[in-house]
Amino acid sequence: MSEETGGPAVSGPGQRASLSDVARLAEVSKMTVSRVVNGTGPVRAETRRRVLDAVERLGYRPNPHARGLATGRSRVLGVVALDSVLHGPASTLFGIENAARESGFGVSVASVREPGRARVGEAVDALRGQGVAGIVVIAPHAETGRSLDELPAGVPVVAVADTEQAPVPVVAVDQRDGGRRATEHLISLGHDEIWHISGPCGWFETEAREQAWRDALAAHGGTAPPVLRGDWSPRSGYEAGLELLRHPTASAVFAANDQMALGLLRALSEGGRSVPGDVRVVGFDDVPEAAYYSPPLTTVRQDFLALGRKTFDQLLRLVEGEDVPDRAIVRAELVVRESTGPMR
């Protein structure tokens, strides 16, 4: 079949460009466009250039479902995600979608309101029914993690979970290293009694960050006061701050996320205790607003785009039949701002 055919023509206003539109504009066959877009066959350099120029001019975007039918392999990934507006789970989902999109994959998301085994199983079954190439399970909660034990065989699965007990490969930000960095930063400023506002029970991140705080203090001969238990919300951080005001010698706090740190800052301000003059505060996550808190918040940054790329890469390797490590880690980064500035 000849590569050259047809004449220029495009879709009408408001219509999405089709493969046929690209073929007509580039004056080649639809088969040639498919070869260039999917990378499935040899095409002369000059012809490839014309096709790519037409793709750019028309804003053509391949349909992942159609590409899967053409190649015999789905180019859609499934993601089971907790239905949450919390920064961590939502940003993890965004990072995975971004990585998939960059590689020409579509993403089908099945949200679960509760992290139970039945709900996760139903979501996995729904995605399998769509013929996805593989599935990512975002499992920040221990109950979601336990559901991984009952996943059906025959479908590639990667979990985003900070656990070493999962029966499938996992990818995670190193929560313990991040918690250690936060605590040791406060230790380096001369504090040996550091308070901790933890997340809710049952979350992998809660357990890892709290344990890192305890371990860092123990390693440096410091004191671990009673944990102030939060639920990730600013309100719970505010309530923890009210409790902290009952301890006038408290001078350093590691909050397990930035939202709770925000509530803490409000409570301390209302109680007449300045930050960082009287109390130094470190958060976790580096939400976009953290640099604009009053004062700007020292925190631990999680690179969710890197997490998404690593997760997508691991799942794609599984889909291709390759071996992958049981655990892949993305490092966290301490971002120092004014909430841990010099004491008065």
**What are the pLDDT digits (tens) for 131-172?**
888 899 988 888 777 777 777 777 889 999 888 888 889 999
pLDDT at position 39 is 60
Categorize the per-residue pLDDT at 4 as very low, low, confident or very high, splitting at 50, 70 and 90.
very low
Residue 52 pLDDT exceeds 80: yes
User: Looking at 3-12, 202-211, 275-284, which range is the least confident one?
Assistant: 3-12
Categorize the per-residue pLDDT at 40 as very low, low, confident or very high, splitting at 50, 70 and 90.
low
CB of 34 within 8 A of CB of 18? no
CA distance 220 to 244: 23
CA distance 238 to 31: 62
Look over the chain and give the mean of its residue pLDDT values, rounded to a whole number.
86
pLDDT at position 256 is 98
Q: Which stretches of 99-235 are assigned E, i.e. beta strand?
A: 106-112, 135-138, 157-160, 170-173, 195-198, 228-229
pLDDT at position 116 is 66
CA distance 250 to 268: 11
Mean pLDDT of 118-131: 85
Residue 258 pLDDT exceeds 80: yes
Residue 8 pLDDT exceeds 70: no
168-200 pLDDT, tens digit each: 899 999 999 999 999 999 999 999 899 999 999
CA distance 55 to 49: 10
Which two three-digit tokens encode residue 9? Answer: 């023509």
